[in-house]
Every structure is written in C-alpha cells, then in structure tokens.
Amino acid sequence: MTEPLLSVRDLVKTFAGRRSRTGRPGAPIRAVDGVSFDVGAGETLGLVGESGCGKSTTGRMIVRLLDPTSGTVTFDGTEIGGLSQARLRPHRRDLQMVFQDPYSSLNPRQTVSRIISEPLLVQGESAAAARKRAAELMELVGLIPEHLDRYPHEFSGGQAQRIGIARSLATSPRLVIADEPVSALDVSIQAQVVNLMERLQRELGLAYVFIAHDLSVVKRVCDRVAVMYLGRIVEIGDKAEVYGSPAHPYTRALLSAVPLPDPQAERTRERIVLLGDPPSPADPPPGCSFHPRCPKAQDLCRTERPLLRIAGPGSRQAACHFPEGPLPGGLSRDLPVM
C-alpha cells in the first residue's frame, strides 16, 4: 500500500480562554479536537463544516502557521509538527497555502513581483531568478507578466486570488492548503478559479486540502470529503459515498440545505432543520457533540462519545452511534455542481 503524502493523527489545538474582568482565566477553547486523516499524492481532500468548526485552524496547523497542542503532522514520511522553524524551512518548499481573502493576504505595499518572489528569496534564490520565476507563474495562472510591477489594489478580486495562487506555487510545492479560496469571489469568478486550480493540479501533480463550506464546490473539485463539527471529523470517505449515502445526521442536514436549481425539486425534497446554535468549544456537551441538535439523539448519544468507524459497504467512516442509510429521493443526484 502506498504511503500517504500527508498523514494527520489526533491533531488538537487548544486556545487560552478569555480572562474575566477580575483576571480569572476563562475555560480553554478546544478548537480542534483529535482530527485524523490522510491525503495521497495528487489527491484532493475536501474539509467542510459550519463556520467555527475548526477546519481553517486544522489547515494552518498543517503548514505550521499555528503550532499543534498535540498530535502529529507527517509529510512525506517526516513528522513536521514538532520541528523548529530552522528545521522546518526545507519542508516549506513542499507545503504552501492559499488564503480566503486575497486582498488581506497580499501585502498592499509590495509589488506583485515581490509578493510572488518572496518565498523563493526566503529559500535563497537570487533576485533575478525569482523575478523570472514570478513572470512564468503570472502566465501560468492566466495573468499578464508585464503587470508584475503593479500593486494588489490594481487587480480585481479574481485576479488577486490568482496572484495568491501564483505565490503558493513559487517553490513548486507538492501539497497546497486552500482555505476557502473562492468564497470571497462572485459566482462566475469562482468557476474560473476552480477551473484554474483543477488545471494546475493536472499539470503539476498537486495535492490539495480544500477547505470550504460550499458543498457544490467541494463536490466538483474533491476526491474525498471530511465533514467537521465542533473540532471533530464526524464523517469521512469517498465523495460518491458521502454525497450519495451520508451516514451522519449532520452531513445529511448540510446536504439538505444546498439550494437546488430546479424549483420543483426544491419544493418536494426533504429539508432537515437543525435547532439551536452549535455548542461553544469552550464548553462542549458530553457524549456526541452533535446530540443537542440531532433529531434522532438517544440516551447513548448523551453519555458516550462515538468514534469514527466504517459505516456502510464502502470505506466511508462516520462518528455516529446510529448511522443512517441511503438518502431518499436522490438528493446527491440533484445536488448542483458548479
């Protein structure tokens, strides 16, 4: 069996709670609570869930923008989660990140040439070689190399995100963490950027961890899907299994909330409405973290935390005491793909 390019095991990130007015420390916030998954070379894993579920924090720990509280991140056979910054630097060539908001992630005081070249300069490349590489990357992502000396504010949102993608490719990485890369863009521009990322994956052999909350986009670009809730993965498996026969009630609720382009199908399909807000990660409920909102919760769910286990005939896993069967009415078949 081929070893995965990326292996994440029992990843945890805890933040200190906000202090009270009297100076008493607040309860620690467990933003990521024991996440594990693998990503193979050239594969795309989608990481989905509501805002605040811990998916972006997971992505930032993989590239070591945040240090894990515990757990391991192994890239190409090397455990990088505990490396010092000096020992981590050679691995940064292979691990890069694309951020959600291109304007906030691009330095407004630097030219595009400097922005794209900076990762190469940090790795010891000469200024001339870095600028030449920046021009090649501008062309690769569909921009004009002659615009290298412009500043980020002179570009549209879609163009700025292409610059962010070009910067992530400067060091010829093998894995890119894409943190909601199209959510800040118009729908028509989203499709263009997604097409670009798919083309780059084919041409360069990239692997992606694609973080998103838009299930239509995830269905389009990902090979496998991991669904997160309150810092934990509650379902993970091949795209066809997760979309065609979601086993966890939370996954079913997410899929039922996606608008359908056919008015008739939209009126007749089953809607799953979740009651209340997600619990606070500073005070998670006992047992299954989803049980306060689950329409089918039972006594076992309130006392015992379910572990990921095989659910169904395929390799898909779900953290549910009472996993569900195939969807009625073919929701997966009707779900739009951008």
Which tens digit of pLDDT belongs to each residue from 206-261? 999 999 988 888 999 999 999 999 999 999 999 999 998 899 999 999 988 777 66
Q: CATH top-level class for 6-87+178-184+208-334?
A: alpha beta
Render pLDDT for 176-214 as a digit per residue (tens, 0 to 9).
999 999 988 888 899 999 999 999 999 999 999 999 988
Render pLDDT for 267-285 as a digit per residue (tens, 0 to 9).
667 777 787 888 888 888 9
Report angle CA 29, 251, 161 to the nearest 5 degrees. Answer: 70
Per the CB < 8 A criterion, the answer to whether 173 and 94 are in contact is yes
Residue 332 CB neighbour total at 10 angstroms: 18
Which pLDDT score, from 0 to 100, does residue 327 have?
54
Most confident region among 71-85, 91-105, 130-144 by mean pLDDT: 130-144
Cα 244 to chain center, whole Å?
21
Query: Is the pTM here over 0.85, yes or no?
Result: yes
Per the CB < 8 A criterion, the answer to whether 14 and 28 are in contact is yes
Which pLDDT score, from 0 to 100, does residue 313 have?
74
- Specify the range with the lowest mean pLDDT, choosing from 70-79, 173-182, 207-216, 321-330: 321-330
Question: Where in the chain are the domains?
Answer: 6-87+178-184+208-334
Per the CB < 8 A criterion, the answer to whether 11 and 37 are in contact is no
